[in-house]
């Protein structure tokens, strides 16, 4: 026997095998059991969701002589319909869409079924009928003979006249969930005695956009690769023609980092692979939307995708600018014969927008530095409004009394904090006391609780008051906790300096998150390794930590002058600069 494609081989033959349409199946089963069968049905929904398959199952079910919860497959009608389904007439409206075809149908409905109780007419893609054909069908559809049932199937119900819609029972088929698609694929693999990894099955299901037929077709191709469990995601992308999400992230990173050469290389590769550049633009828009969602709802995404979104440094205003430009590109691409050239021009234009913003932002910084006598002031530049102030700015007291910036600002990290030099010794002393005290009161349950709540800092990314502190706490983690103290690990000494300069503001921020008062201390990764070894040594040798009173050490948070506040506000605007 010749090979049969999997989507045909495993097409559902009874109600129990229908995937992802439980509500519709339940209604149809109950209508047959109670003998409340309508004369006309309309099945509508996306392609590959089971409309035609369920229509055929329903056509056999209404003629089953021993129907209970499903077809019996034993009665004379069930057996006869397996051999000869002469009483189930399937019409393709795309090729039989004229008035003459409908007139023929109208004459044939008068004939009695050959051996069944009902004669079923399944009209697929019914929206393709002409206006005249719909008018010819109208009267018959309204008052058909008692032995006739019409089942209309379509993907575009909006093209069907209201006079037809109002005469049918309508059932809207939904896209099939990833879980249902994966379950169906596992069943098929078991029957075919094949194996694939769970992550591959999930990716196939996600690539198919809720379409069962596309899912099983793609599974058929993957099985043909004959790689078994060695099949990976890249194989799926090549087979499906889908554009890899990694490529889209690469394009976005190239735009934000002004990497013109790599941007053009990616464009050339996509063109060589025959990818549809309109799909690339649509995918870019989707990623931008997901970044905006991630900014507001940090836990909306998970896994590797969440990690990739977190690495894209772009503010809400730029997302809107990019989206408008990409939508213009989509419109322009419909009317050009050279999509690749237009695609590259627009992407380079977006890169120029990023470059211009950086230049303007740095010009504002230079103006502020030259016009303002910065002295012991804490500036917070809100990243929702101004972004990408990328430069190395140094902060130290010079003989003229001017302060330059000491922090290397990277990506969206656009805050600098200035404390009086006399506070440095106090900070170091306070650190040692708090390191000792947090180990003295270390509690595993408390640590677990605060670690679970630490992700909530990202909920404040769009908060004008705390957004810069979110950047400071990015890539940090809580490693020790007591009832009133937290030890936070930072990457290096540079990050530690920034943390210590803003320690009071960070404490206020964390108290807002946890709704209770914590004092904090920061250590670098290297310090943490040594402190952990010391803690283990003391525990093994029963050397206790003794709590030390820290009240003798006080930190003074610097205050900014009104003159500097006015200067900063004049240049950046009240919505961009908060001076605390």
8 Å CB contact between 389 and 368: no
Per-residue pLDDT tens over the stretch 253-282: 999 888 889 999 999 988 888 888 888 999
Give buried/exposed letters for 448-459 (b at 16+ CB in 10 A, else e): eebeeebeebbb
Position 388 scores a pLDDT of 37
Global pTM value: 0.57
8 Å CB contact between 390 and 530: no
Domains of the chain with bracketed CATH: 6-172 (3.40.50.300), 178-240 (1.10.8.60), 245-354 (1.20.272.10), 372-418+562-579 (no CATH), 423-540 (3.30.300.180)
Measured CA distances, 538 to 34, 225, 430, 436, 528 (Å): 78, 58, 21, 12, 15
54's tokens: 């369920």
Q: What is the dihedral of CA 569, 570, 576, 580, to 10 degrees?
A: -10
Position 79 scores a pLDDT of 87
Q: In what order do the strands lie in the sheet with 169-172?
A: 88-92, 119-124, 148-154, 40-44, 169-172
Pairing relation of β-strands 40-44 and 148-154? parallel
Position 317 scores a pLDDT of 82
In which residue are the tokens 């230079």 written?
366
In which residue are the tokens 């930590």 written?
545
Secondary structure letter of residue 15 according to DSSP: G
8 Å CB contact between 239 and 218: yes
Per-residue pLDDT tens over the stretch 124-143: 999 999 998 898 888 888 88
Position 433 scores a pLDDT of 87
Give dist(CA 325, CA 312) in Å, integer.
Answer: 18
8 Å CB contact between 437 and 518: no
Position 361 scores a pLDDT of 63
Give the residue ranges of the chain where pLDDT is below 70: 1, 228-229, 361-427, 551-580
Give dist(CA 395, CA 558) in Å, integer.
Answer: 15
3-state helix, strand, coil in the chain (%, to 5): 55, 10, 35
Give dist(CA 157, CA 137) in Å, integer.
Answer: 16
DSSP 476-515: -EEEEE-SSEEEEEESSHHHHHHHHHTHHHHHHHHHHHHT
């Amino acid at each position: 026997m010749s090979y049969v494609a999997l989507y045909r081989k495993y097409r559902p033959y009874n109600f129990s095998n229908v995937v992802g349409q439980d509500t519709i199946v339940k209604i149809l089963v109950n209508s047959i059991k109670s003998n409340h069968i309508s004369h006309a049905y309309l099945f509508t929904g996306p392609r590959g969701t089971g409309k035609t398959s369920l229509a055929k199952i329903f056509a056999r079910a209404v003629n089953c002589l021993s129907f209970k919860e499903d077809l019996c497959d034993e009665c004379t009608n069930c057996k006869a319909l397996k051999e000869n389904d002469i009483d189930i007439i399937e019409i393709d409206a795309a090729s039989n869409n004229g008035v003459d075809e409908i007139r023929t149908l109208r004459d044939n409905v008068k004939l009695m079924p050959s051996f069944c109780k009902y004669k079923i007419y399944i009209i697929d893609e019914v929206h393709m009928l002409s206006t005249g054909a719909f008018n010819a069908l109208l009267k018959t559809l309204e008052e058909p003979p008692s032995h006739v049932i019409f089942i209309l199937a379509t993907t575009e119900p909006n093209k069907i006249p209201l006079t037809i819609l109002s005469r049918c029972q309508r059932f809207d088929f939904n896209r099939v969930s990833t879980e249902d698609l994966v379950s169906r694929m596992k069943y098929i693999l078991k029957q075919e005695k094949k194996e694939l990894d769970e992550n591959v099955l999930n990716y196939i299901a996600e690539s198919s956009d809720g379409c069962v037929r596309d899912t099983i077709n793609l599974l058929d191709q993957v099985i043909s690769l004959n790689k078994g469990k060695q099949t990976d995601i890249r194989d799926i992308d090549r087979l499906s023609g889908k554009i890899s999400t990694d490529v889209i992230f690469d394009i976005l990173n190239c735009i934000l980092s002004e990497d013109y050469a790599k941007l053009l290389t990616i464009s050339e590769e996509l063109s060589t692979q025959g990818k549809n550049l309109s799909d690339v633009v649509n995918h870019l828009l989707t990623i931008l939307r997901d970044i905006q969602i991630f900014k507001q709802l940090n836990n909306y995404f998970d896994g590797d995708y969440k990690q990739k979104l977190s690495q894209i440094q772009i503010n809400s205003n730029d997302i809107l600018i990019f989206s408008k430009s990409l939508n213009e590109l989509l419109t322009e691409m419909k009317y050009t014969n050279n999509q690749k050239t237009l695609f590259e021009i627009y992407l380079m234009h977006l890169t120029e927008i990023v470059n211009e913003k950086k230049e303007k932002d740095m010009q504002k910084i230079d103006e502020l530095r030259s016009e303002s006598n910065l002295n012991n002031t804490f500036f917070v530049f809100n990243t929702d409004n101004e972004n990408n102030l990328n430069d190395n700015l140094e902060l130290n007291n010079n003989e003229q009394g001017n302060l330059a910036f000491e922090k290397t600002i990277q990506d969206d990290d656009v805050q600098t904090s200035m404390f009086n030099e006399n506070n440095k010794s106090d900070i170091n002393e306070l650190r040692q006391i708090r390191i000792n005290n947090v180990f003295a009161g270390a509690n595993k349950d408390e640590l677990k609780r605060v670690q679970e709540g630490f992700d909530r800092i990202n909920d404040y990314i769009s908060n004008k008051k705390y957004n810069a502190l979110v950047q400071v706490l990015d890539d940090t983690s809580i490693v020790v906790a007591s009832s009133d103290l937290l030890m936070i690990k930072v990457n290096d000494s540079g990050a530690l300096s920034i943390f210590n300069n803003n320690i009071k503001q960070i404490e206020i921020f964390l108290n807002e998150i946890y709704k209770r008062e914590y004092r904090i201390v920061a250590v670098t990764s290297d310090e943490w390794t040594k402190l952990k070894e010391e803690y283990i040594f003391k525990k093994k040798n029963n050397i206790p930590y003794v709590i030390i009173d820290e009240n003798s050490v006080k930190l003074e948070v610097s205050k900014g002058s009104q003159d500097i506040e006015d200067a900063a506000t004049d240049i950046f605007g009240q919505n961009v600069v908060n001076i605390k």
